[in-house]
Each structure stands twice: as structure tokens, then as C-alpha cells.
Amino acid sequence: MSKPRKPKGRPVSGWLILDKPFDFGSTEAVAKIKWLLKAQKAGHAGTLDPLASGMLPIALGDATKTVPYVMDGRKIYEFTVTWGEERTTDDLEGEVTQSSDKRPTAEEIKAILGDYTGTIQQIPPQFSAIKIDGERAYDLAREGETVEIPSREVEIHRLTLIASDEKTARFEVECGKGTYVRALARDFGRQLGCYGHISALRRTFVAPFGEDDMVPLADLVALEKIEDEAERLAALDAFLIDTGEALSSLPQIVINDDQAHRLRMGNPIILRGRDAPVSADEAYATARGKLVAIGEIGGGEFRPKRVFQG
């Protein structure tokens, strides 16, 4: 019987909050970061289109277990809509399908924003990752098919017009999981009777990470000039954020080393003290500031569901 293949790379864990450049794919970005840090495992929390820039949270090692918690977080985008043309992709990349000479005033734009705030129904773009009968919508769209994509409920927490001129309008939106900003541009244009598409898009926030956490790709690539590998990797590792930071929306319990050992063995621990949470469907435990486990609290116990080796 052959021995299990040893994983390639370092067992490095944590979050790297990349400031993804324009015209660079999310999958390409993850591969680049994985290669730079020589990591065994990497993934991202929420795709950014190649024509979009900004925050792309990249999980390394054990942090990949916390990706769903970041995917569910609120996001903030700044985006520019160019009026007069609707396009197949709802951004600069697509072909023009509708056009108009009409241009909206700032007052007309502001008057419709309330229709897109709160819980709304939104139809995702034809060029999206939505699955239709087992196939991605963008694959069908590239083959020339027009498919019926059902509308879905999304949450828009805040939508602001920042600036506008005769040709464009710039907005900021804070939204929940699954919102397509390209669809907002399409729907604005249709309602205003002038058509529109995204001409610039930047993500500035993915809860719980903010702009101060972002690292430009150029800063990371610049470290390749460090010839000593240990020194180079240490410089790259300095940009990592602890895995547990992704779980700040959950209740936290602080435990000792003995309790941490029990959790890592898959065993529950008894919670004592008046400050211990009574119950929680999900919570996380830390020891010495490091994430140990995600689990549930009930009956005076913390029961681990996912453990982290630290």
C-alpha cells in the first residue's frame, strides 16, 4: 500500500486581504498569492470580476474553513454607471444591446434610489455564475443563449449617489450576500429610460475586513527580490491576519491550554463562570489569542464542530 502523498507547500494559515488590481481574475489572484507564500491551500471569499478592483479576501490553510462566514458578510462597493448603453454583460466588456440619447439629472437619479434600498427582488445578469439546469449562466450566455434567470431576494443596506455629470454617475452601495452591482446599473438605466452599464467597480469592504487591511499586489510582488527564502516568507507572512478575525460576528469564549487540547481531540468542554454564554448555535473558542474551534454552546458545554491546530 502506497503512503499518502505529502501536501506541497507550507501549512501557513490566515487571511490575506488583497487589493486586487484591475484586469486580473480572482482565481489568478489566489494562485499568485498561494505561489508567493508557498501555501498548501488557498481560496477566496467572494469573486471579483476581472474588470473590478479592490478587496479580495484570500484564505490560506485552516482559514479556508472560515470562508463561509466572510462570504455571508456585508460588502461595500463604489461603482460608476455610464448612461446611454445597455450591454450583454452589464459592464464594459459586453456588446451594446440597447442605446438611448436620454441622460438623467441628479434629481432623477436620487428619486429612484429608494426603490433599490432595503429587501428587493433582483434578477442576476445573464453573464453570472448562477446555475441554470446544472450549467453556469455565463457559459450559456457565451453560447448565445438567453436564459430565464429567476429573481431573488437581496438586501441593500445603503445606496448613495456620490457624483454625477452628463454621461456618468458614481455611487456607493452597502449590500448583503448575492447582490449583483452590475444588475443595479442595468435596472437603474431601464427605470430612468436611458439604459446604463458599469464602467468602474471597486470593492472597499467585506465584513469584517476594512480598507486598512488591504494589501496591494505590487507590495507583495516587490518582496520577490529578497533572495533569502526564509526572510522573504517572513516578510510575506507579516501581512497575514489571524484566522479567528473572520469570526468576529460570533460569540467568543476564551479557554486555557488544557481545554484547547480537549477541543482539538474532538471532545466537548464544560463552560464555567457567570460570563459564559448560555447557548449559541455557533461560537468560537480561542486560546492564547489563537483560534481553536468553531462549535455550539448548550447545556453548559462547548461542543466543537471544526477544529484548528493553531
Average pLDDT of the residues in 156-180: 96
User: Contact 136/122 with Cβ under 8 angstroms?
Assistant: no
Average pLDDT of the residues in 107-132: 87
Average pLDDT of the residues in 90-110: 95
Q: Which helix (H) or strand (E) holds 301?
A: strand 301-307
Among 19, 23, 49, 91, the one annotated catalytic:
49
Assess whether 91 carries a catalytic annotation.
no
Residue 143 in 3-state DSSP?
A: coil
What is d(CA 84, CA 125) in angstroms, rounded to the nearest whole number?
Answer: 18
DSSP class of residue 2 equals P
Phi-psi region of 23 (alpha: psi -120 to 50; beta: other; left: phi over 0): left
- State which amino acid sits at residue 118: G
76 bridge partner residues: 174, 205
Report pLDDT digits (tens) over 217-257.
999 999 999 999 999 999 999 999 999 999 999 999 999 99
**pLDDT in the model for residue 138:** 58
**pLDDT in the model for residue 276:** 72
Global pTM value:
0.90
DSSP class of residue 233 equals H
Confidence class for position 94, pLDDT limits 50, 70, 90? confident
User: Contact 9/34 with Cβ under 8 angstroms?
Assistant: yes
Report pLDDT digits (tens) over 177-218.
999 999 999 999 999 999 999 999 999 999 999 999 999 999
**pLDDT in the model for residue 8:** 84
Report pLDDT digits (tens) over 251-287.
999 999 999 999 999 999 998 877 677 789 999 999 9
What is d(CA 22, CA 290) in angstroms, rounded to the nearest whole number?
Answer: 34
**pLDDT in the model for residue 9:** 87
Confidence class for position 4, pLDDT limits 50, 70, 90? low
For residue 205 the three cell numbers come to 469592504
**pLDDT in the model for residue 147:** 73
Nearest partner of 79 among 176, 188, 177, judged by Cα: 188
- Round the average pLDDT of the chain to a whole number and report it: 91
Flag whether pLDDT at 1 surpasses 60.
Answer: no
Flag whether pLDDT at 305 surpasses 80.
Answer: yes
What is d(CA 244, CA 308) in angstroms, rounded to the nearest whole number?
Answer: 10
**pLDDT in the model for residue 143:** 59
What is d(CA 200, CA 162) in angstroms, rounded to the nearest whole number?
Answer: 14
Residue where the block lists cell 466537548: 268
Question: Long-range contacts made by residues 178-183, C-beta under 8 angstroms, separation at least 24?
Answer: 178/152, 178/154, 179/75, 179/122, 179/154, 179/155, 180/90, 180/122, 180/124, 180/125, 180/128, 180/154, 181/77, 181/79, 182/89, 182/90, 182/91, 182/125, 183/90, 183/122, 183/123, 183/124, 183/125
**pLDDT in the model for residue 275:** 67
